[in-house]
Every structure is written in C-alpha cells, then in structure tokens.
Copies of this chain bind each other. A is one copy, B any other.
Amino acid sequence: MITRSALAAALLPLLAAPALAQTAPDVAQARDAALNDTLGYEIVSGLTTEVGPRPAGSAAEARARDWAKARLTALGFKNVRIETYQMAVWERGAETAEVIAPFPQKLRVTALGQSGATPAEGITAPVVLFRSMAELNAAPAGSLAGKIAFVTHAMARAQDGSGYRQFGAVRFVGPGIAAKKGAIAIVIKSVGTDQGRGPHTGQTNFGKDVTPIPAGALSVSDAANLERMLARGAVTLKLVLTPRQIGMRESGNVIAEVPGTDPAAGIVLIGGHLDSWDLGTGAIDDGAGLAITTAAAKRLLDGPAPRRTIRVVWFGAEEVGGPGAADYFKRHGGERHALVAESDTGADRVWRWQATLPDEAKPIAARLTDALAPLGITRGDGAAGGGADVGPVARAGAAVIDLNQDASRYFDYHHTPEDTLERIDPAQLRQNIAAWTAMLTIVANAPEDIGPVPPAKRGAE
C-alpha cells in the first residue's frame, strides 16, 4: 500500500525544512496506522446511542454539547469549551397525510423545517401536480388558490452528490413559490435517491415577504403512489402538519484544540456539525463528520506537537441555516486561519480531493497527491468550497481542502429516519480517518507559509 512516491512525499518536509526534521512525523505511517482506528466508530456510536437525535436549539442538542465537552476533554484535547448563542427554533408537530378520494389511504409525510401549520384538524383540498420546478414556476399567479401543490422530480444518484443542488431546489424554494401563487399547502416528493417510505425532511426558506404555508415531503414511495393516482384522475388530500415556532433557544458550538508550536503559522480549522434532524439519530449527518475529524486530530494530539494548531469544532445548528457557523465567525473570524476543511457528507470513502490554496502553498498539494493516492483518492480539478460550517472563514480568504466522500448512497438516507448507525460502514469510516490523518499531518506541519487565498481564486461555497 505504501508507494515509493508516498514515502518521498512524506520525506519532503524533512528535506525542505531541516529545522522541523526532528519532529515532523511520517505521513505514510500515520495514515496507515489510522486504518486501524477504533475511536471514530466509538464517537459516532456513542453519540447516536447516548444522545440520539439532536435538533438545533433543543434540549437534546444541549445534552450533546455536554457529551462532547466531556468526551473531548477525556481524550486530552486542549482548550475544550462550549460557545453558546441564541437562535429562533421551529419545532415539529403532528404530521399525517391521507388521500380522501378516490382511493382512500394514508401517505407518509414529514414537515419541512420552517413549514407553516394547518389547523389541528387539518386541511382537505384538491392536489395539483407539477412534474418539475419549471412547471411550478410556469403556473399563473393565483392559479393555486385553494389547492395543494404537489411537485415531483427525479433526483439523480451521483458519486459527487451533484444532484442535490439542482433537485434540492424543490425543497429549498418550492414552498415559497407555491405560496406566492396562492397554494394553501405544498407537498413535494422527497429530495432523495431512495425508493423507500421514510420522508426526507430539511429546511425550506419562504423568503421575507411570504407567509409560510404548510409544507411537507412525502416519501419517494408515497409520492410515486400519489402520482399513479393522479394519472387516473383528480385526487383530494387531507394534510395535518402542526409545527410551531417556539421562540429563541440556546444552541452552541463545541471547540477543542491540538496546540501547535508556531502560533504565527495560523490555525487549521476542521470539523462537522453536532446538530441533526430529528427523524434519525444523525449518524451519517453528521456524527460521522465529527468522528472522522476528531479521530484524525486525536492521532496528531498523541504524536509530536504539530507546527499549526488544529482546531476541531463541533458546530451547532448547521441544519437550519448555520447560526453556529455565523457565531464562530463572529467570535473567531479575526484570528488567522491558515486552512479550513469540513466533513459533512456521510461516512463512505473519500474518493477525490480538491484544494483552493495560495500559490506559495502549492508544494503542499503535490505531497497530498502522493499521500492520498494509496487510499484510492484522486485529485480533482475543481476549487474547494469547504462546506456550510467553515464556509464563512473560507470566504474570508482561508485556504480550503475538500476530502470528497462518495455520495452515491448518501441521499438514500439523508434527513430520513434511516440516518442511523447501521448506515456507517466501519471500514469506509476508517479510510476517511486515514485520509484526514494524512492531510492534517501534511498541512499542520507544512513548512511553507499558508497565506490568504486571493479573492479571485476562492472556490464556490
């Protein structure tokens, strides 16, 4: 598994920076040792078992912060702390859908985050089918008055998860568009690549001038059933969705560090998010990201102190628009961040990596290429974005590395009841940890300066 070029890459820092030669660890050795990691699985198993679902701003998320602080402290991380903030909280209520005519049967539905509410007894109305966002957009103003809009689509399975941005629009903005056209409610086919009964929840955004309407996602299977009914004629649906806005609540980020020897070299910021949607236990979204980044950082914590401080953040409230990321940036945006990286696409293997680096840090990329190749990871051509939580720091100019996970099956389970520990393949989780260990070993010890990325070169977030 250890190629000669990987070995050469591992030795490069020693050759380039004799002053560091005594302490810089062997990248290949660190990487390969991480293939036997057990801590990562322990973290995601512990978090999903001992806390479980942890919606942003909930008591469970608070318990998860305490759990994290205790665990990170016990692991020996330094400067472990919780940083709290206030946020508006939306809370799920009852949720049922039922075809009243012509084919009475229940359908599985879940409310989208920020959905408006029906009366407790529900609403009953005819369904209007739109096979795409383009069809919904083309509906005349007012044409949906008194109707329940139903938007379908066919999200494509893709290794790079690229279908999510396009097909996710039906959830991100579809409800607001339907509301503007007069719909009294909307149900969408879940944004997912599965064929199952578990609806995919997720945040929607009505926009400032729109009063939220009840907005739910049917499971992919139930949506297909409703489409078959509509192919036979008109359908009347009864919908009960009673979520509430419950006001301001506390949320927070948990921070832990591996102190570096050279404060002027900047911080390497890594992490994932601690909150999860309520339907599953948040194993792949994003207990896995916490497990991967923390287990990798722990490996550097147990070795010689790296040049750069590695800061691991378990961000709060990512799923609902990122108040955790905003609070972090407000508090820490002024500190020097050399590089940021985030893990938030499940636990399947890293298949590609991409970077946005300043020119002077380019030799790092060459060493990464060689160190990651033995794990079957190829270098991509695109810019790195970092993700929702480290995004604000990236947009402010920090260098970014993306270790892209195989997303082929991620959107089968994303935001559904099926996001549980069973969806994690321990062997692939360990491959992630090995990749992150190699990356951190190289980046945190790089003798090169990692300065700001010029604005023109910054990747899309």
Mask of A200-240 contacts with B, CB within 8 angstroms, 1/0: 00000000000000000000110011001100100000000
A50 within 8 A of B: yes
Closest to A280 in B: B197
A409 within 8 A of B: no
Closest to A63 in B: B104
- Report, nearest first, the 5 A-B pairs whose CB atoms are least far apart: A52-B105, A195-B422, A197-B417, A49-B228, A221-B420
A-side interface size class = 20 to 34
Could you say which of B105, B108, B220, B228 contacts A51, with CB atoms under 8 Å apart? B105
- Find out whether the CB atom of A422 lies under 8 angstroms from the CB atom of B224: yes
Mind listing 29 A-B residue pairs with CB under 8 Å? Answer: A45-B228, A49-B225, A49-B228, A49-B229, A49-B232, A50-B102, A50-B103, A50-B229, A51-B103, A52-B104, A52-B106, A52-B225, A53-B106, A60-B104, A60-B105, A63-B104, A108-B417, A196-B418, A196-B422, A197-B198, A197-B280, A197-B417, A197-B420, A198-B198, A221-B421, A221-B422, A224-B422, A225-B420, A225-B421
- Find out whether the CB atom of B197 lies under 8 angstroms from the CB atom of A50: no
Total identical chains: 2
**Alpha-carbon gap, A196 to B105, bound state (A):** 23
Which residues on B sit within 8 Å (CB–CB) of A196? 418, 422
Q: Which residues of A contact B (CB under 8 A)?
A: 45, 48-53, 60, 63, 102-106, 108, 195-198, 220-221, 224-225, 228-229, 232, 280-281, 417-418, 420-422
Closest to A67 in B: B103
- Find out whether the CB atom of A281 lies under 8 angstroms from the CB atom of B225: yes
Which residues on B sit within 8 Å (CB–CB) of A51? 103, 105
Closest to A103 in B: B50
A38 CB → nearest B CB, Å: 15
Closest to A228 in B: B49
**Alpha-carbon gap, A49 to B224, bound state (A):** 9
- Find out whether the CB atom of A49 lies under 8 angstroms from the CB atom of B103: yes
